[in-house]
Amino acid sequence: MLGRFVSRFFPSDLLSRKEGQDLAEYGMLAALIAVVVIVALVTVGNSLSVLWGNITTAFAALP
């Protein structure tokens, strides 16, 4: 029953294609890279914020 329903709306040559799979894999890879970049930027941003605060404090303490 389900096989007939699927074959009616999706031709068999469409179901056997593999091109879309590559696109999905590239999409997942791009999402993973984006997450890594965001985490790295947040970590570096916090470190730079602390460093900038230390530099500002040191300059404020100068006569």
Q: What is the pLDDT of residue 25?
A: 87
Dihedral over alpha carbons 3, 17, 9, 26 (to 10 degrees) = 110
Write down the pTM of the prediction.
0.51
pLDDT over threshold 60, residue 14: no
Burial 18-55 (b: 16+ CB within 10 A, else e): eeeeeeeeeeeeeeeeeeeeeeeeeeeeeeeeeeeeee
- Give dist(CA 48, CA 45) in Å, integer: 5
- Give the model confidence (pLDDT) of 44-61 as tens digits: 988 899 999 999 999 999
